[in-house]
Structure 1
Amino acid sequence: MTDKSTQGQVQPALAADAPDKLQRGLSERHIQMIALGGSIGTGLFMGAGRNIAVAGTSILIIYVLVGFFSYMVMRAMGELLLTRLDYRSFADFVSEYLGPKASFYLGWSYWLSWVVTCIADVVVCGAYMQYWFPHMSAWIPALFTLGILCLFNLMSVKAFGEAEFWFALIKVVTIVALILTGGWMVFTGWTSPDGVKASVDNLTDPAVFMPHGLTGFLAGFQIAIFSYTGIELLGTMTAETRDPEKILPRAVNSLPLRIVIFYMLSMIVIIAVTSWQGVSPDSSPFVTLFAKAGLPAAAAIINFVALTSAMSSANSGVYSSTRMLYGLSVEKHAHWQFRILSRTTRIPVRSLLFSCFCMLSGTLLLFLVPNVTTLFTIVSTLAAILVIYSWGMILVAYLVYRKQRPDLHEKSKFKMPGGVVMTWATLIFFIFSVVIMVFDPDTLMALEASPLWFIALWVFWKIKEKREQPEEADKVSV
């Protein structure tokens, strides 16, 4: 058994060596496809049904607004990350410009956001499996999926990159196929077996612009924000990317095009083909589109793709939470054992296993809330709140960076458009997005619970400070 003195010797050595041990195993092919797939998550495949149902065609405005301001977050993050290539993630520049306490709050909040997102994703995997096996309990495929993804991530980072590459490729090809198929249905005036004609009129009907009024419009923001969760994943891969100065700007700048193709065109096609009245809030609108068109085989294929999409998002969640917990440990914000890497694959195994255990515990909520859609809404709202907090910290760090290091900004080759003014506008927009969550009972429940997390962080920070005070005193005396 290791004594305290041995622990004290091991910990600093690991802290010094750990940042250089992560392998740069992610190539441009991996990063570009992960960035592409990161904007296509469970929020689009599953959450879009609820969003269209509550917001009608005004959902298009919501996705444009959230997409635009999400892109601004990415540009701020990109400029900051490229000022120093030794940053492991955005938590590092938050620590530099806002201090260790801010880094502690951000790191743990971002870790929890991915744990919660992964729970939402594997829960949805259970719902997709019920398409083929309606009497199967949702928790069975949910736990099986989590176990498979944990094994994926136990392998090398290149194995993770390969898995995510193919997951993302399946999503991209399917959505492009869906857009082309839907466009053909609209062009030919396809009429479904239940009498709904595919037409642009389904989009331009004034009655379906805001069918539930302003309240419905505002309710659409939560899932839209959750849909974009994962675009900042690039900011956790810097230490494992081979050429970040070249790859990161390309991946970030491709975001607007991805929003137009994957969100705008897919929403337009779904509403035009199925009509607003034909979209169910309790199922994937992508599956509904082909089912209503009388193509059950195609609907089953789309359901399979939606399942792989949820697995892809969950896979990113396992990876990101593991790397963030590893970074927290390196910064001495988490137990030193979480920074230990496996000898052969250089994977932070203990961080991975702890994160997966927390995801497993959360997935068991299916026993308490068996309705998948209700649980998905609650869990995804909590994830959205935590992601907004993380994005907000990135923006605040950017403001401090602009004030403290104008020299670095002048030298930057990847400046944020609009600079300080746009940063403030983006912050105000995300504050507005949190405030409007009070108008929906399900989102309000998660909003009311979120302060408990930050209270817990405050308590743990105080405990951490008290433990470090004797260590600092010993250093001074020596």
Structure 2
Amino acid sequence: MSFNELNDINAPDDSIHELQRNLHNRHLQLIAIGGAIGTGLFMGSGKTISLAGPSILLIYFIIGIMVFFLMRALGELLLSNLNYKSFVDMSYDLIGPKAGFYVGWTYWVGWVLTGMADLTAVINYLTFWLPPDMQFTPAGQALISAGCVLFLMLLNLLTVRLFGETEFWFAIVKIVAIIALICAGAYMVFTGYHSPNGDVASLSNIWAHGGIFPKGVEGFLAGFQIAIFAFIGVELVGTSAAEAKDPHINLPKAVNAIPVRVILFYVLSLTVVMSVIPWNHVIPNKSPFVELFLMAGIPTAAVIMNLVVLSSVMSSMNSGIFSTSRMLYGLAKDGQAPKTLGKLSKSAVPANGLMFSCACIMGGAILQFFVPDTITAFTLATTLSVILFVSVWILIMVNYIRYRKLRPELHEKSTFKMPGGVFMSYVVIAFFIFTIGILVLEPDTRQSLLISPLWLLILAIGYMFKKKKA
């Protein structure tokens, strides 16, 4: 029996038991932008610049190209069969039940870890308003984290349209802030602005302090780990496509705009940052976007930018809560998770899955008790999530290769073909394997890489338990 036949048999007559297509083009476009501008850019870029120097610009450009091909492959797959509601359905159909089980639960855990990382970032940004001699206690950090998760959970419980509206405005704030930063930084460079510590804003700052590769090849490679975390969430376009109107029109628009957004939001904005603040003066554990305005002697603008990056973290958490609930919904529909997680509320929201995901993200509050250093906790959580997300991205490309082999007639009819086809799929897979391999270069990321196989053991036990129960 085919996936489509199975889907038709299980489909209830009442549409309230199915996800509704309530996201419009503007929602999908801004969700795509929101996914491309995350916590990794605003918070993680400080550490990445300190590791790689100006070569970070090349790193973001390379990752952006590979992510574009990933999204083109995902776009062709989703549009080839509109019964695909998530990566779970796709993997279940094209590779098999084990792949569907792995992709669904791994993607879910990846977003839970990202949510935990975002909670540490919230605490880091809130300390901006505290005097130097004051810090949040572990209990205070936990309470703030819990409040953030509960607030976003309530928003997501109402309607998917409200999620779309929330992400729309979060993304608008990010876009305006980055454009303002680019304009302000460009003005400083043009006028030769002198910062309070004596730095002169100039494009030459990019190559005048040790060249483009001041940390050598090792520093260049080490910069990939946090840089690739910045792109986590770009695949949300695929997750939300099941609830988007006119996906054949709107999905290609969102995917094709990715290269322009990468150049604008990553390459151009960080070029401006490092022109105003020499890379070797960037503070690793602080957002260079906030520091740019502080060093320019504009504290009010720095306060505004700090609010912007705080909203970016909330946006990332909002996306994570949305995607994890939809992933659990897909797993439950395929019999790979408890049936109760596949039930929808009257507003067509997978409420049980949403509340379960939020409860797990609350684990970030526990993490803050054991790892009070926010940057250490952030690096630990982000590295683990990068490993899990990249493995899912690899399987998306494997799905595409299988689709080309099993469904050549659908590829021929496709109006949104992936450039480079199967050959480029292998190139992207090789690149993603490379990004996991380079995690051994840094002690903190190596630790996360060594413990990541535990997840495979947990999944294997879970899958055997599921089969016995079936």
Same fold? TM cut 0.5: yes
1:84 aligns to 2:87 (yes or no): no
Distance (whole Å) between structure 2 residues aligned to residue 149 and residue 49 of structure 1 = 27
* Equivalent pair of 1:54/1:216 in contact (CA under 8 Å): yes
Distance (whole Å) between structure 2 residues aligned to residue 273 and residue 222 of structure 1 = 25
Equivalent in 100, 104, 126 of residue 103 of structure 1: 100
The two structures have a TM-score, normalised by structure 2, of: 0.95
1:252 aligns to 2:249 (yes or no): no
Distance (whole Å) between structure 2 residues aligned to residue 320 and residue 208 of structure 1 = 41
**Structure 1 segment 297-308 matched on structure 2, within 5 A:** 297-308=300-311
**Structure 1 segment 321-336 matched on structure 2, within 5 A:** 321-336=324-339
* Equivalent pair of 1:47/1:223 in contact (CA under 8 Å): yes
Equivalent in 49, 52, 57 of residue 54 of structure 2: 57
Deviation at 1:20, TM superposition (A): 5.5
**Structure 1 segment 5-404 matched on structure 2, within 5 A:** 21-133=18-130, 134-137=134-137, 138-205=141-208, 207-343=210-346, 345-404=347-406
* Equivalent pair of 1:341/1:348 in contact (CA under 8 Å): yes
The residue type paired with residue 194 of structure 1 is: N
Deviation at 1:90, TM superposition (A): 2.4
* Equivalent pair of 1:15/1:330 in contact (CA under 8 Å): no
Distance (whole Å) between structure 2 residues aligned to residue 382 and residue 455 of structure 1 = 15
The runs of 5 or more residues in structure 2 that have no matched partner are 1-8
Deviation at 1:406, TM superposition (A): 1.2
* Equivalent pair of 1:200/1:272 in contact (CA under 8 Å): yes
* Equivalent pair of 2:112/2:360 in contact (CA under 8 Å): yes
The runs of 5 or more residues in structure 1 that have no matched partner are 1-11, 469-478
CA 1:126–1:208 in 2, change beyond 3 Å: closer, same or farther?
A: farther
CA offsets per residue over residues 250-297 of structure 1, 9 Å max, x none? 000000000000000011001000111220100000000000000111
CA offsets per residue over residues 297-324 of structure 1, 9 Å max, x none? 1111100000000000010000000110
Aligned to 1:5: none
Aligned to 1:474: none
The two structures have a TM-score, normalised by structure 1, of: 0.93
* Equivalent pair of 1:14/1:339 in contact (CA under 8 Å): no
Distance (whole Å) between structure 2 residues aligned to residue 357 and residue 187 of structure 1 = 50
SS in 1 for 2:348: coil
Aligned to 2:431: 429
Distance (whole Å) between structure 2 residues aligned to residue 417 and residue 17 of structure 1 = 39
Distance (whole Å) between structure 2 residues aligned to residue 140 and residue 293 of structure 1 = 34
* Equivalent pair of 1:34/1:168 in contact (CA under 8 Å): yes
Distance (whole Å) between structure 2 residues aligned to residue 239 and residue 262 of structure 1 = 27
* Equivalent pair of 1:115/1:317 in contact (CA under 8 Å): yes
Which range moves more in the overlay, 117-126 or 211-220?
211-220
Distance (whole Å) between structure 2 residues aligned to residue 322 and residue 31 of structure 1 = 18
Deviation at 1:208, TM superposition (A): 4.4
- RMSD, matched Cα: 1.5
Aligned to 2:457: 455
Deviation at 1:143, TM superposition (A): 2.2
The residue type paired with residue 152 of structure 1 is: L
The residue type paired with residue 82 of structure 1 is: L
Deviation at 1:86, TM superposition (A): 1.6
Distance (whole Å) between structure 2 residues aligned to residue 119 and residue 61 of structure 1 = 29
Distance (whole Å) between structure 1 residues aligned to residue 378 and residue 218 of structure 2 = 20
**Structure 1 segment 405-444 matched on structure 2, within 5 A:** 405-444=407-446
CA offsets per residue over residues 77-112 of structure 1, 9 Å max, x none? 000100011211222111111011100000000011
CA offsets per residue over residues 119-161 of structure 1, 9 Å max, x none? 1112101110110135234334322211111111111111111
Deviation at 1:462, TM superposition (A): 1.1
* Equivalent pair of 1:129/1:141 in contact (CA under 8 Å): no
* Equivalent pair of 2:333/2:342 in contact (CA under 8 Å): yes
Query: Between Structure 1 and Structure 2, how many residues are aligned?
Result: 456
* Equivalent pair of 2:119/2:365 in contact (CA under 8 Å): yes
* Equivalent pair of 1:123/1:139 in contact (CA under 8 Å): no
The residue type paired with residue 420 of structure 2 is: G
Distance (whole Å) between structure 2 residues aligned to residue 191 and residue 298 of structure 1 = 17
Distance (whole Å) between structure 2 residues aligned to residue 262 and residue 180 of structure 1 = 13
Divergent runs of 4+, >4 A:
12-20
Distance (whole Å) between structure 2 residues aligned to residue 46 and residue 140 of structure 1 = 22
Distance (whole Å) between structure 2 residues aligned to residue 442 and residue 19 of structure 1 = 47
Aligned to 1:9: none
Distance (whole Å) between structure 2 residues aligned to residue 279 and residue 83 of structure 1 = 46
Deviation at 1:210, TM superposition (A): 2.5
Which range moves more in the overlay, 346-355 or 142-151?
142-151
Aligned to 1:445: 447
CA offsets per residue over residues 147-204 of structure 1, 9 Å max, x none? 1111111111111111111111000110011001101100100000110000011012
Distance (whole Å) between structure 2 residues aligned to residue 278 and residue 300 of structure 1 = 20
Deviation at 1:13, TM superposition (A): 6.9
CA offsets per residue over residues 221-248 of structure 1, 9 Å max, x none? 1111110000100111122111111100
The residue type paired with residue 266 of structure 1 is: S
CA 1:466–1:274 in 2, change beyond 3 Å: closer, same or farther?
A: same
Aligned to 2:5: none
SS in 2 for 1:131: helix
The residue type paired with residue 425 of structure 1 is: V
